């Protein structure tokens, strides 16, 4: 792999991670959805780039699926949903912007510290991309924790899956990537479907998961 291929792959991986930070501090629901769509778009470009650089044409399929479903179809559907239900309002975060960013930086440092030493003998690109991917996964989890509404949790979940796809495409010669992409997509579609069709908003009035505490224990 030449210098350019290597640098570009890094650039796209880094951009996906940067967009994870953007997801953490956005204050409006539509902005969160846009940031997610952008992350999926960059991921699609990263997958296409890996397909070209590794000479693995099946990864183009992964790129196409990511672009079509995650960067276009799901965000459009979500926008539609938000507009119809008039939910575009300021979001609350369990933590402030600064603490979430600080924790995010900590998570990135953690994943670098975890991944780089153990992958010492692997391909350089693989190991660094794996560190980036793990950071994206952990940041997605962080978003699921700090953002309290069901829709933002789903977006955090989807961003986490973006990290997984990034990991899968950057491991050279990994088989079944396309199949895994599809399986992941089914999971995501199901998550979005859950919010839409289980009418979590209708039932809980605010799409907030705080209500889940009701399924707690106690003599009712």
Nearest approach in angstroms of CB 98 to other proteins is: 25
Q: How far apart are CA 1 and CA 53, in angstroms?
A: 7
Nearest approach in angstroms of CB 117 to other proteins is: 7
> Is residue 150 near other proteins by the rule CB under 8 A?
yes
Calculate the CA dihedral of residues 194, 210, 212, 198 and round it to 10 degrees. Answer: -20
Nearest approach in angstroms of CB 174 to other proteins is: 6
Nearest approach in angstroms of CB 203 to other proteins is: 5
Nearest approach in angstroms of CB 211 to other proteins is: 7
> Is residue 155 near other proteins by the rule CB under 8 A?
no
Cα separations (Å) of 155 from 4, 6, 48, 118, 166? Answer: 32, 29, 23, 30, 16
> Is residue 90 near other proteins by the rule CB under 8 A?
no
> Is residue 168 near other proteins by the rule CB under 8 A?
yes
- In the shown chain, the binding pattern of residues 180 to 199 toward other proteins, with x for contact by CB under 8 A and - for none, equals x--xx-xx--xx--x---x-
Contact region with other proteins (CB under 8 A), list: 15-23, 32-40, 44-52, 160-168? 160-168
DSSP annotation string for 66-80: IIIIIIIIHHHHHHH
Q: How far apart are CA 133 and CA 64, in angstroms?
A: 19
Q: How far apart are CA 146 and CA 81, in angstroms?
A: 22
Q: How far apart are CA 39 and CA 23, in angstroms?
A: 9
Q: What are phi and psi of 91, to 5 degrees?
A: -95, 150
| Residue in 119, 148, 196, 208 binding other proteins, rule: CB under 8 A | 119
| Residue in 40, 134, 151, 207 binding other proteins, rule: CB under 8 A | 134
């Amino acid at each position: 792999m030449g210098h350019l291929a290597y640098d570009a792959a890094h650039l796209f991986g880094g951009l996906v991670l940067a967009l994870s930070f953007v997801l953490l501090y956005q204050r409006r629901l539509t902005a969160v959805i846009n940031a997610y769509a952008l992350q999926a778009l960059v991921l699609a470009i990263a997958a296409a780039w890996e397909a070209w650089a590794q000479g693995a044409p099946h990864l183009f399929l992964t790129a196409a699926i990511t672009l079509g479903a995650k960067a276009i179809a799901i965000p459009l559907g979500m926008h539609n949903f938000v507009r119809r239900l008039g939910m575009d309002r300021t979001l609350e975060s369990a933590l402030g912007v600064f603490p979430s960013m600080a924790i995010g930086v900590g998570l990135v440092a953690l994943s670098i510290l975890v991944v780089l030493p153990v992958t010492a003998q692997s391909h350089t690109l693989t190991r660094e991309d794996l560190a980036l991917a793990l950071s994206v996964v952990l940041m997605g989890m962080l978003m699921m924790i700090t953002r309290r509404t069901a829709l933002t949790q789903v977006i955090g979940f989807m961003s986490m899956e973006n990290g997984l796809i990034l990991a899968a495409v950057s491991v050279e010669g990994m088989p079944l990537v396309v199949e895994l992409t599809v399986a992941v997509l089914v999971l995501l579609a199901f998550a979005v479907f859950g919010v839409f069709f289980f009418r979590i908003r209708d039932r809980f009035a605010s799409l907030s998961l705080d209500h889940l505490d009701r399924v707690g224990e106690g003599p009712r």
